[in-house]
Amino acid sequence: MRGTLARARNEGRAALIGYLPAGFPTVDGGIRACTTLLESGCDIVEVGLPHSDPVLDGPVIQSADTIALGGGVRIADVIRTVREAHAATGAPVLCMTYWNPVDRYGVERFAAELAAAGGAGCILPDLPVEESEGWRQAAERHGLATVFVVAPASRDERLARITRAGSGFVYAASLMGVTGTRESVGREAAELVRRTRAVTELPVCVGLGVSTAAQAAEVAAFADGVIVGSAFVKRLLEARDDLDAGLAEVRELAGELAHGVRTAAREAPAG
Known catalytic residues are 46, 57
152-159: long-range contacts (C-beta < 8 A, 24 or more apart)?
A: 152/176, 152/188, 152/189, 152/191, 152/192, 154/192, 156/195, 156/198, 156/199, 159/195, 159/196, 159/199, 159/200
Assign residue 203 a region: left if phi > 0, alpha if psi is -120 to 50, beta otherwise?
Answer: beta
Nearest to 121, CA basis, from 164, 161, 170, 154: 170
With b for 16 or more beta-carbon neighbours within 10 A and e for fewer, the 145-163 pattern comes to bbbbbbbbebeeeebbbbb
d(CA 262, CA 137): 36
DSSP reduced 3-state for 169: coil
3-state DSSP assignment of residue 218: helix
Give the N- to C-terminal CA distance of the chain in Å, as an integer. 24
**R_g (Cα) of the chain, nearest Å:** 17
Long-range contacts of 153-157 (CB under 8 A, 24+ apart): 154/192, 156/195, 156/198, 156/199
DSSP state of 46: E
d(CA 171, CA 226): 10
